[in-house]
Amino acid sequence: MKSMIALMALGAALPVSALAQTSVNIAETAPIVTLNVTETVDVAPDIATVGTGVQTRAQTAAQAMRDNAVQMDKLIAALAKAGIAKKDIQTSGINLSAQYDYSNRDGQPSGPRFIGYEASNQLSVKLRDIKKVGTLLDTMVEAGATNVSGPSFSIDDPRPMLMQARATALKTAKAQADFYAQAAGYRTARLVSLSESNSGGQPPMPMMVRAQFKADSAPATPVEPGQVGSSVTLTVQYALEK
């Protein structure tokens, strides 16, 4: 008991810092460099997507829809005759709304005047022959289309382009990491993490074309497809090693 009391007294007399001393060995970790690398492969597009449709007006909603259906049937038949496969024609929107005239007559304020119903039916059409896009735009108008938008160009299968962009991006990232390693006095850079985001065969913005009525002898609406790009962005981390 006397010995225990003596030890307790000695412990109480020691500085608090002496009691808290702990030996911890932390392994040295290699510096990490994080890189964001984007590579884009540009090629000529092989797909064009065009929006088209018809609008009709009538005094009754039912008549507006009936008239619209007749015009839309003509448009779809013309697309089929032009060689557009059924799988490449998709309804993108159908709308029916009452129309009013809000203008003031004779300078006198008046309420809105009902003028009928407007029906619209819109299609998204995929064109697989880029060289015939201008001719097909004119075909749509001649078949009764009252609006045309696009085309938006893309690649049907962007996977080969993405593979090429990945390979180039990874080589670029490794070259940059090795540069940083050597510049900082390290021997090499070792890949420790990698993540990807990509954009496959899509243009930044769709090209807008205004289709116009024309005589049979006039040239087709000019369309220039240019090129579209498939981009890959890699976020990579390299450990710099001695």
Query: What are the tens digits of pLDDT across the range 215-226?
Result: 344 567 888 888
The HSE-up count of residue 174 (CA atoms within 13 Å, CB side) is: 8
Whole-prediction pTM: 0.67
202 and 160 co-located in one domain: yes
Structural contact between residues 122 and 52, judged by C-beta atoms closer than 8 angstroms: yes
Is residue 236 packed enough to be buried (19+ CB in 10 Å), middle (13-18) or exposed (0-12)? buried
Domain annotation covers residue 169: yes
Domain annotation covers residue 12: no
140 and 180 co-located in one domain: no
CA dist 143 to 50, 63, 74, 138, 220, Å?
Answer: 15, 20, 6, 9, 15
51 and 133 co-located in one domain: yes
Q: How far apart are CA 223 and CA 205, in angstroms?
A: 15
Task: For residue 211, count other CB atoms closer than 10 A to its CB.
Answer: 21
Domain annotation covers residue 107: no
Q: Tell me the residue range of the domain where 53 lies.
A: 47-100+113-153
Q: How far apart are CA 10 and CA 213, in angstroms?
A: 105
Number of structural domains the chain divides into: 2
Give me the tens of pLDDT residue by residue for the chain, a chain 242 residues long: 444 434 344 444 444 443 344 444 434 478 999 999 999 999 999 999 999 999 999 999 999 999 999 999 999 999 999 999 999 999 999 999 999 988 766 666 667 888 999 999 999 999 999 988 999 999 999 999 999 998 999 999 999 999 999 999 999 999 999 999 999 999 999 999 999 988 765 554 333 333 333 434 456 788 888 888 999 999 999 999 98
- Phi and psi (nearest 5°) for 196? -135, 145
Q: pLDDT of 174-200, one tens digit each?
A: 999 999 999 999 999 999 999 998 876
- Phi and psi (nearest 5°) for 204? -60, -40
CA angle, corner 173, sides to 171 and 179, nearest 5? Answer: 105
Domain annotation covers residue 95: yes
Is residue 55 packed enough to be buried (19+ CB in 10 Å), middle (13-18) or exposed (0-12)? middle
DSSP secondary structure code for residue 241 in this structure: E
200 and 225 co-located in one domain: yes
pLDDT at residue 7 in the model: 39
Q: How far apart are CA 168 and CA 39, in angstroms?
A: 7
Q: How far apart are CA 207 and CA 223, in angstroms?
A: 9
170 and 235 co-located in one domain: yes
135 and 193 co-located in one domain: no
What is the CATH number for 219? 3.30.110.170
188 and 218 co-located in one domain: yes
pLDDT at residue 38 in the model: 95
pLDDT at residue 199 in the model: 79
148 and 213 co-located in one domain: no
- In terms of phi and psi (left: phi > 0; alpha: psi -120 to 50; beta: otherwise), the region of 163 is alpha
